[in-house]
Every structure is written in C-alpha cells, then in structure tokens.
A = this chain, B = another copy of it.
Amino acid sequence: MTLAFVNSPLDRCGNLRSDSVAITQLRVEQTSLTIQMAGDSVLFQNNAPHFLSGAVDNTILLGRDENNVHWFAKSVAPSDDLDFRHLRALASDGVLSAPVLSIMAQARSLLHWHERHGFCANCGAATVMADAGYRRHCDVCSADHFPRTDPVIIIAVRHGDNFLLGRQAAWTPGMYSTLAGFMEPGETIEQAARREVFEESGIKVGAISYVMCQPWPFPTNLMIGLIGDALNTDITIDPKELETARWFSRAEVRTMLDRTHPDGLTATHPIAIAYHILEAALKA
C-alpha cells in the first residue's frame, strides 16, 4: 500500500478563483462534482462517494481533473442516518483510488479551515469566503486571511544499525512510530527536528537529510519526512509526549514494518509517511 494523500491529479486553477462569474458557471455545470464532508468523514451512498452535481452555492473549488471535470467541496451536517466514512479508514481500506483520496484530503483541509475561521482574527467581525475558498475577507477592517498549512517534522533517527522509535499512550498497543512535532516560527526544518527529538527523547541529532513529504489532512498538516544521525544513545523521554521510546535493530524494524514481529509490535501503517521514511532509512 502506498503513501496516502499525495496523488492529486487536479489542476488547481489558481487564476480562475477570483473570477466569480466563471466560478458560478462551473458550480452549475452538470459535469461538476461536489464532495460532501462532515468533519473528517465523506458522505457515501451505495458504497461510493455521494457527489452533488450542479447548482451548489458557496462551494470550494478544488480543481479540474484530466477529463475536464471540476471538483468542489462543501461541509454538511453529520447524521447517524447517513453513511459517513472517515478519511483515514478510506485511506487504509482501499475503497477509493489514490487520486480520489488525495482530492478528499484537499477538501478536508480547506473545509476545516473555513469551519474554524468564520471570524476575523484581527478585529473579531464575521468574514466572508472569497476566491472560491482560498481567502476569507473582513469587510470591517479589510484584512484578508488565507488557509493555513502547518509544517510538521517527522524523522527516522538512526545510530549505526539501530533506529529510534517511540509511542504515545493513546496509540494501538504495540504500535511505534518515528518522532514528530510541529515547527515553530523562526526555525529551520533541521532545527525543528533537532529540538523535537531532543525534547521528546534526550537524543541529539547531527546530520539530517530530507526524504519526502505528505499533506496530512487532520486537519491541515504538511509532514516533512527526514532521516537523521543520532550523536548519543541514552534516551530520556518526555512523559508528557511519549509513553516510551527505545532503539530497535534494523532486523526488528523490518519485522515491524512487515507485521511479522514475534511480539506483534508494528511501525505505523503504510498510508502514513513514518512507514516510508523508515523504509528509506533501512535502505540508506
């Protein structure tokens, strides 16, 4: 199973967004599709996403696919009577194609931003959606607000043939992952990675290389995947962040990725970047 959410086929049509006449026309096109989501979940009907088509107001433009179909998104009220499916479950169960799953992820991040940003952070007045969903404007103080993308570092730390993995108490029993954390203003990617690993585990990291990244739509993170070389081996965990952390041998990590560990330990799921940066670190 491949990394989820990275296969969007859409042209985002950035220069159409401010053309409200064109956007209104595209919204009522019969070929246009509107994804309906409640929180992290997609509305389904008859085992397929239940798209609205035509005549939908105030939807967010996601982009145009290779068949010239325009994709939009809107939030709907959750309901126990309807078939809502969580985006993470959809990523693991393979019901949707990788491209459609990636479009859903874009929808989720943008819808979440609108749900949580109805008011102007600068003056407190209600804001209105603009640019087909890529801006909110305040008519009172004239401030423009743009969607957030929150960069997060995630790093496979190695020391010789051993790899540092930790787990949080809330996770599935036996599951370990690479360390991760939100970047802060004024930091480089590498500084943020060294800070997070040291805070959580007491391990100092020297050389760092970039491997790959993943947009993670819960709600709107950019996971920046790294490999780093540890400069020490004595672990001191931060119990507010981790339940435990320890070094695992290359062979043990292999069995955790392959789900063949004798004690049933695992190393996250292939939909998530942690799995893939560990794969890369094993090969490096």
What residues make up the interface of A, taking CB atoms closer than 8 Å to B? 5-6, 8, 12, 14-15, 102, 105-107, 109-110, 113, 116-126, 134, 143, 145-151, 182-191, 195, 199, 210, 212-215, 217, 220, 222, 224, 238, 240
Contact = CB atoms under 8 A, between A and B. Distances in A.
Given A116-B143, A119-B122, A148-B148, 19 more contacts: A8-B191, A14-B195, A15-B199, A102-B186, A109-B186, A117-B121, A118-B121, A120-B121, A121-B121, A124-B124, A134-B184, A147-B184, A148-B150, A149-B184, A185-B215, A185-B220, A188-B212, A189-B224, A190-B213
The 3 closest A-B pairs by CB, nearest first: A106-B186, A109-B185, A119-B124
A223 to B, nearest CB: 10
26 contacts: A12-B195, A106-B187, A109-B185, A109-B186, A110-B186, A113-B185, A116-B122, A120-B121, A124-B124, A124-B125, A124-B126, A146-B150, A147-B184, A147-B185, A148-B148, A149-B150, A149-B151, A149-B183, A149-B185, A183-B222, A186-B215, A186-B217, A188-B212, A188-B214, A189-B224, A190-B213
A85 to B, nearest CB: 18
A125 B215 CA distance: 31
B121 A199 contact: no
Contact of A5 (B120, B186, B210, B240): B186
Contacts of A190: 213
A119 B143 CA distance: 13
B199 A14 contact: yes
Given A149-B185, A191-B8, A117 B122 contact: yes
A15 B181 CA distance: 14
Given A119-B119, A119-B123, A149-B151, A238 B183 contact: no
B121 A116 contact: yes
B151 A188 contact: no
A124 B146 CA distance: 17
Contacts of A222: 151, 183, 189
Looking at A121, A124, A151, the one whose CB has the most chain B CB atoms below 10 A away is A121
A147 B213 CA distance: 21
